[in-house]
Amino acid sequence: MLKSFCSWLLYKYMGWTVNVTEPHPDKFIICLAPHTSNWDFLIGQLYNKSQGLKSNFLMKKEWFFWPLGPIFRRMGGIPVWRSKHTSMTDNLAETAKKLPAFKLCITPEGTRSLNPEWKKGFYFIAQKANIPILLYGVDYERKLIQCTKTIIPNGNVDEQMREIKLYFKPFKGKHPENFTTGEV
């Protein structure tokens, strides 16, 4: 019922389309960009529900207040304390190694504001856990959710981050002025 409703809402009512060609193994990181609006979260949740997927996601701790905190946690939210150095990448990589299934969605910009210096935590989690990174782009101009590339971390962070940023370059966020891949 929920899957059908989310499919109807996202595809029929809102007019979005999907181009996903990459396989989804039991363990992976979703690198999702651009992230320029809170609408990205809603679109992502509708997509997940319409596909029968469940993935955890990182979100700044300030969103985990009552009554939203328990709701976000139940949905798979993991609060991030940006002001603290907490070894989060190491902890998430260890968790990924131990579990039979692990799916985590991360926005590399780390903010909805313009940020040319993308976070690399998603890369290091995937590298340490030896799992792939699926590149998911959300394009508001074309109303398209696309995943046509997978990155297998090989340790050459700069080269692979350039490859990742080039993949996302053509995507238009809800607020395109808030998205940049920086100099690539």
pLDDT for position 136:
98
Task: Compute the distance between CA of residue 129 and CA of residue 27 in angstroms, rounded to an integer.
Answer: 9
Number of Cβ atoms within 10 Å of the Cβ of 85: 7
Domain residues of the chain, as ranges?
A: 2-178
pLDDT for position 91:
85
Say whether the peptide bond before residue 153 is cis (omega within 30 degrees of 0). Answer: no
Which tens digit of pLDDT belongs to each residue from 126-137? 999 999 999 999
Which is more confidently placed, 107 or 85?
Answer: 107
Task: Compute the distance between CA of residue 34 and CA of residue 32 in angstroms, rounded to an integer.
Answer: 7
What pTM was estimated for this model as a whole?
0.89
Task: Compute the distance between CA of residue 117 and CA of residue 142 in angstroms, rounded to an integer.
Answer: 26
> What is the percent of the chain with per-residue pLDDT over 70, rounded to a whole number?
91
pLDDT surpassing 70 at residue 82? no
pLDDT for position 104:
92
Residue 54 CA to its chain's centroid (Å): 12
Which is more confidently placed, 90 or 161?
Answer: 161
CA end-to-end span of the chain, whole Å? 44
